[in-house]
Structure 1
Amino acid sequence: MNFNRHLILASNSPRRQELLRHAGFEFKVRTKEVDESYPEGTPPEEVAKYLASKKGAAYKIDHQNEVLLTADTIVKLNDEILGKPQNYEDAKRMLTALSGKKHEVITGVCIKSKEKEVTLDDTTLVYFKSLTEEEIDYYITNYSPYDKAGAYGIQEWIGMVGIDKIEGSFFNVVGLPVHKVYQALLSF
């Protein structure tokens, strides 16, 4: 992929890095701590895009040739946002809540350069089968999903055995709607 700009991925996520690499982009990773709070009353479907923009605002574009990409993924069950679990009990609570239900995975993305900024998002519906307590315990113990929204990674064991179907982009659930990001980056 011949992208003639210096792409900076502002994310520690190994999954986002892998997805961008597989999409053919070369990039540098640059990260900083950004407060991931959002205004109370923000509609859940707007939170991921808000946080991606907030992360983007934390960076200054130094050179004309740089393009920065930030992202945030949330899991929405009914109107509750399930972020990253704090501990084992929190992960178990989230997976128990998701068991046997449909939920939404929403990823917001901010791409910016010196001359422009684009924000986008994508939503995928995920349908979990009913999970047993043993399956939930096995997954948390063996995969430690503490860095994942909703306490799971679709590309891991639980996604293989516990998800009946999805509607939308698989890669969005992994953490980046690659099809939309690819098109947006080409516009830079």
Structure 2
Amino acid sequence: MGIIGSTIKPFKATAYQEGREFFDVTDADIANKWAIFFFYPADFTFVCPTELEDLNEHYPQLQKLGVEVFGVSTDTHFAHKAWHDTSEKIGKIKYAFLGDQLHTLSKNFGVLREESGLADRATFVIDPDGVIQIMEITSEGVGRNANELVRKIRAAQYVRNNPGQVCPAAWEEGEDTLAPSLDLVGKL
């Protein structure tokens, strides 16, 4: 897909967030910040509420890491509010939901299913420079794990803050990292 390392494209979307009036979010709003765009197929569905609730449970931890979270589907901001007001799981969510009924974000990130007008189940992590550092796309019936997402973000932040270092598989904060060099070639 060639999307890792690319810069987020300009966008404007109307958001719903508990306790706020509807508001617009643009690419300028995430400048100099870490952000997650958490795409899901549609409101009032089955796997989506479990994923969104799981992500919400990690939202305070993500905020401490300086990461803002946006749930995104091709529904409108009105549908997001209705779902929030009628679903026990969704009613708990504190992060913003972006309406993408014009498919701007879904197309920008390459996750729009043209035949249905729905977004794939996809996650993108954007760094403070607007560069896509992490992406994950799963099939319709496979839910994502927010705990693993937090681990990946910590690794991405570590690599950004420690040039010349990389995080090996299953790396956890505080564990050893690697400094790629000719000395390591063939020894791992």
Superposed pair shares fold, TM > 0.5: no
Structure number with greater CO (CA < 8 Å, separation at least 6) is 2
